[in-house]
Amino acid sequence: MLSLPNAITVSRILLVPVFALLFAVPGAPARISAFVIFCIAGASDALDGFAARRLNAGSDFGRMLDPIADKILVAVALMMLISEGNFEQLSLDPSHGLRSLLKLVPALVILSREILVSGLREFLAGAAVSVPVTRIAKTKTTIQMIAIGAMILDPLAWRWLPENVATTYSWVAYGGLWLAAALTVATGYAYFRAGLAHLHPRRKAAHRASAHAASARGHAGEPA
């Protein structure tokens, strides 16, 4: 349980409150520090998987904790971004309201999907149905982390960059978050479809056979 991959996963969870605290502190140094902590925590997701494969140190504890750590990091980062106006006094410029809405909608989509998938994961695990990791799931995770990281620095971009450059940066960051939300729905649908298929009596046996075949090929896992 105290292997290197598990220690990396636990450290990712421990970094989350540090990130939240730094995010809430006003000032550029704290925001840059929050960004660095978020990047380190995000990179540790790939690092613990690499260490588990390289050291042949995979464990049930790690497989259980890894997706939990990922969800905690993303959920806290999204909630901090949504509540950002509570930490900084914003003007009454309507553009601030628009930007808040553009953050709120994809954040709600992503968080709602995570709640849905958590319930479906329990159901599918009890039904001995596994869902293979897909390329779109990995792409979603990458885009999601990059978009959140870019949005963490968005206020500094408006402060330090020329207005036209800051506007472009901001729209790219927000666009990345919306793209991640769309891919989140797509990957969540894979779970939902597996659950519906398993509920159909005629398809239960077929999906169980498919799950065993995927496990035998070594591609079974949890979509991010």
Predicted confidence pLDDT, tens digits, the chain (224 residues): 568 888 888 999 999 999 999 999 999 999 999 999 999 999 998 888 788 778 787 777 777 888 888 889 999 999 999 887 544 444 444 455 567 778 888 999 999 888 887 777 776 666 566 666 677 878 888 999 999 999 999 999 999 999 999 999 999 999 999 999 999 988 888 777 777 776 665 555 555 556 555 555 544 444 45
Residue 136 and residue 71 in one domain: no
pLDDT of 32: 96
Residue 80 and residue 102 in one domain: no
With respect to residue 50, please indicate whether it lies within any of the assigned structural domains: yes
With respect to residue 55, please indicate whether it lies within any of the assigned structural domains: yes
Residue 111 and residue 81 in one domain: no
Whole-number Å distance between alpha carbons of 160 and 168? 13
In terms of pTM, does the model score above 0.85? Answer: no
Residue 129 and residue 218 in one domain: yes
Residue 121 and residue 64 in one domain: no
Residue 102 and residue 76 in one domain: no
pLDDT of 86: 46
Partners of 132 in beta bridges = 220
Number of helical (H) and strand (E) elements in the chain, helices listed first: 8, 0
Residue 106 and residue 206 in one domain: yes
With respect to residue 158, please indicate whether it lies within any of the assigned structural domains: yes
Whole-number Å distance between alpha carbons of 151 and 219? 33
CA angle 166, 172, 176 (to 5 degrees): 145
Of 35, 70, 88, the last residue of a domain is 88
Overall number of domains in the chain: 2
Domain of 221 in residue numbering reads as 98-224
- What CATH number did the domain enclosing 28 receive? 1.20.120.1760
Residue 126 and residue 221 in one domain: yes
Of 88, 118, 136, the last residue of a domain is 88
Residue 136 and residue 204 in one domain: yes
Residue 103 and residue 207 in one domain: yes
Whole-number Å distance between alpha carbons of 111 and 199? 25
HSE-up of 15 (CA within 13 Å, CB side)?
24
Whole-number Å distance between alpha carbons of 81 and 84? 5
With respect to residue 181, please indicate whether it lies within any of the assigned structural domains: yes
Residue 160 and residue 111 in one domain: yes
pLDDT of 84: 78
Q: Which two tokens stand for residue 28?
A: 């550029």
With respect to residue 93, please indicate whether it lies within any of the assigned structural domains: no
CA angle 41, 46, 50 (to 5 degrees): 135
With respect to residue 79, please indicate whether it lies within any of the assigned structural domains: yes
With respect to residue 48, please indicate whether it lies within any of the assigned structural domains: yes
With respect to residue 58, please indicate whether it lies within any of the assigned structural domains: yes
Of 88, 117, 138, the last residue of a domain is 88
| Count of CB atoms situated within 10 Å of the CB of 81 | 18
- Per-residue DSSP letters for 137-163? HHHHHHHHHHHHHHHHTHHHHHHHS-H
- The torsion of the CA quartet 40, 46, 52, 54, rounded to 10 degrees, works out to -110
131 DSSP 8-state letter:
-
Rounded to a whole number of angstroms, the CA Rg of the chain reads 19
pLDDT of 186: 86
Residue 118 and residue 200 in one domain: yes
- Per-residue DSSP letters for 211-223? HHHHHHHT-B---
